[in-house]
Structure 1
Amino acid sequence: MQVSTIPPESAALEDAAGVVHRRAEGPVRIVSLVPSLTELVCELGLADQLVGRTGFCIHPRDIVRKVAKVGGTKDVRIDAVRALEATHLIVNIDENRRETVERLAAFIPNVIVTHPCTPEDNFGLYRLFGRIFDRDAEADRLAADLAAALDAARAVAASLPPERVLYLIWREPWMSVSRDTYISATLRAVGWETVPDETSSRYPEIAWQASAVVAAQRVLLSSEPYRFRTLHLDEVARLSGRPAALIDGKMTSWYGSRAAAGLRYLARLRERLAVE
């Protein structure tokens, strides 16, 4: 598959809020409020410029443990961020509160807003970060790896019949994901279609007797945000009447530099479960 080159400057520098950024000049000090993008910052070779992160930003462990914590993704300590004198703030539409970002924008000159909804959206993330922080070569390398992983995932999807799955993220109340989430799009890449088909919430509560849930052929129990364990498999299989399996939530929900590894993980899991 041919990987496209870095696009024109203005297109590559536009974030999810429609703001066109400039290439960073002078000393760079980055605060990231998005765990998967903290990992991406480090993968791009910007670890020395990362001065702040949330308590949920835990990868890569040997690097982030040396970086100051500024609270959580939703409960950011404003004064802690202010003290870091950041030049760039990385946020996400789903993971961070708008009012918090607006308060931080009052004293951080560059706020980069992200909102990937599909694995393919990572190409834009790589280009955006690569251009802003002068890491074009590193961004191209990640893009090439993602393109190869997408091709492999689609090959697996084409080799197996489509399968409808219920992807659980919480227990009591039982909760799943809607079709418009990044998680659902990632599962779809390997031929797993999530149920319910239509919901009023991105993370709906589910009833085991609902027709959409009954239509599922398999149940997947995620490791996050609720940490499903082996002990839950029998319970879910009994409630659903369907085979149940554990799945690594980071491999379905962490965009950024983990996207390619996530697709490869899902492709292997899809093939393994198909023959069990």
Structure 2
Amino acid sequence: MEQLFTLDSLITLFMLVLLQAVLGFDNLLYISLESKKAPAAKQSFVRKMGVGLAIILRIVLLFALMSLIQYFQKPFAALHGNDILEFEFNVHSVIVLAGGVFIIYTAVKEIWHMMLFHEHESNEESSKKGSINMIIFWIVIMNLVFSFDSILSALALTSGMEYASQLTLMTIAIVAGGILMIVLADKVSNFLQKNRMYEVLGLFILLIVGIMLLSEGGHLAHLHLFGNPITPMSKTTFYFVIVVLVLIDIVQGRYQKKLLAQKELRENSFKNKKADL
């Protein structure tokens, strides 16, 4: 335990907390959007409860991964020598693939509802009231899915340390990252609530998150389609796509305001001419 109080350990702890924050961005977005399905008065409670339970389960998952990591990585189903499809599934790849499919489904469903059923908001409140437990459940489950990469990366960062020090540092980082997520989740949700136009942007970012998880899961499963390997989307590419989406949204929003201002100016000019006649 003496390793905990060295400069190297403190730097490692800082890197672990930073890692939890960076890799938790997509999770944070999902929590903010998922919690909106709850009644307005319960949304903050849902976010806090979901992340709080997820912190506890993340620590349990940490113990499990440190003890059983070889079983998570061990293939249980494989297909080789096929020109169309090859794979080597393990528990880790299946969890990541399932998470990607679910997030894509959630994003597409919400975009579809936003386009077609937005006018039925008055009927939504009654259906939301009975779904709080389910919303918390999905927040916890998806938090665990997102936590796999962060925990595995943290294990790599702390490799070489003694077991007790490694476990302590990672537990502190998980708790600190969870508290940070609770604080930021309310801020992100409030921002989206006040700026409803960014909901579409958030949902498409969530869609990209799902695609990123699918590519990661396919890579972990050594998936080949028609002889071509599935390669994971890098974090650099992911953040670049997000920046592009945000820039497009900003430019489109300002251009739309400009068009509306020009339209209003033409209408006022037409009214003034009509009044002069």
TM-score by length of 2: 0.26
Structure showing the higher helix proportion among its residues: 2
Higher relative contact order (Cα pairs below 8 Å, separated by 6+ residues): 2
Bigger fraction of residues in strand: 1
Structure showing greater Rg: 2
Q: TM-score, normalised by structure 1?
A: 0.26
